[in-house]
Amino acid sequence: MRVFAVFGNPISHSISPRLHNKAICDLGLNAVYTRICLENGSELIDRFKILKLSGANVTLPHKAYALELADIKSEMACKIGSANTLVLKDNKIYAHNTDAPGFLSAILPFGKIKTALILGAGGTAKAIAYALRESKIDVDLLNRSKDRFVDFAEFECFSYENFTPKPYDLIINSTSAGLNDENLPAPIEILSEIFSHSKFAFDVIYGRVTPFLDMSSRFGLTTKDGADMLLYQAVLALNLFYDNTLDLEKIKISMSKALYL
């Protein structure tokens, strides 16, 4: 039996075990997926080996360690600077990032996007910025503080003071504003101006109507929360655990059911 796990801290809220175990069950795979609270990210690979895992997902705050400590790193994970999926293959641990392709799959229903503004400049913003740029979409970033812009040297980055709103097809909230509070991810005046000239709004937060989603829909934008991004990154991760030999559509159907259990 193969054993998989998700590492993070905190981890009790993670629904990854629910998604993966449902797909494992429906696809008749001989495996189980659990969750592990890891305080010290530098112990990630040691724990992976001690537990004899075949694969793992990694979430906050250990995604950078996942990339750093893996034996072999995918080009995408290196460019993003973090990994959320570890796979054991031929005694080596491979690091991948499925957040970026997961995000691109999630925004497909919006149709053609040419320009996007990312609110936030954290780890998730990095994966999204990379994904959008690879899709030839013009990306700007707007963040509360300037400190994080060093990680986004290849992008136009603005703070509230020097931002001049312009029309964007897609606005993405990649901040944690609205996760456990009623905060908007940027000053309301800036958001009003942006929403007046945009078409789509995407929030990486899932499972609740955030103030960002609420406000953007009141401005008439088509909106989407982060549930599909979560779903698709998990679908891709399970397929990577099995060396890309599984049926993605079957995993998706199964995990979709688990998402709403």
User: Interior CA angle at 106 toward 261 and 244, to 5°?
Assistant: 85
Nearer to ligand NDP, 89 or 144 (CB): 144
Active site residue 52: no
Nearer to ligand NDP, 51 or 144 (CB): 144
| Sign of the torsion formed by the C-alpha atoms of 112, 114, 116 and 121 | positive
CB under 6 A: which stretch of 70-78, 90-98, 150-158, 199-207 binds ligand NDP? Answer: 199-207
Residue recorded with tokens 């079957």:
250
In angstroms, the CA 209 to CA 232 distance is 20
User: Which x/- pattern over 6-45 shows residues binding ligand NDP (rule: CB under 6 A)?
Assistant: ----------------------------------------
Residues 227 to 256: which contact ligand NDP by CB under 6 A?
229-230, 233
On whether 188 is known to bind a ligand per the annotation, the reply is no
On whether 204 is known to bind a ligand per the annotation, the reply is yes
Residue type, 118: I
CB under 6 A: which stretch of 40-48, 72-80, 138-146, 240-248 binds ligand NDP? Answer: 138-146
Task: Find residue 45's DSSP bridge partners.
Answer: none
Question: Should residue 206 be labelled a site residue for ligand NDP when binding is judged by CB under 6 A?
Answer: yes
Catalytic site residue from 22, 49, 52, 63: 63
Residues 113 to 132: which contact ligand NDP by CB under 6 A?
120-125
Comparing C-alpha atoms, which of 88, 45, 89 is closest to residue 67? Answer: 45
In the structure encoding, which two tokens stand for residue 239, read together? 């397929």
**H or E, element range at 249:** helix 248-259
Query: DSSP class of residue 197?
Result: T
Comparing C-alpha atoms, which of 187, 260, 235, 261 is closest to residue 27? Answer: 235
Instruction: Name the residue with the smallest CB distance to ligand NDP.
Output: 122
Residue recorded with tokens 């969750």:
35
Least distance CB 230 / ligand NDP (angstroms): 4
Among 8, 101, 185, 211, binds ligand NDP (CB under 6 A): 185
On whether 58 is known to bind a ligand per the annotation, the reply is no
In angstroms, the CA 173 to CA 201 distance is 8
Q: Report the catalytic residues.
A: 63
Which residues contribute to the site for ligand NDP (CB under 6 A)? 60, 99, 120-125, 143-145, 148, 174-177, 179, 183, 185, 204-206, 226, 229-230, 233
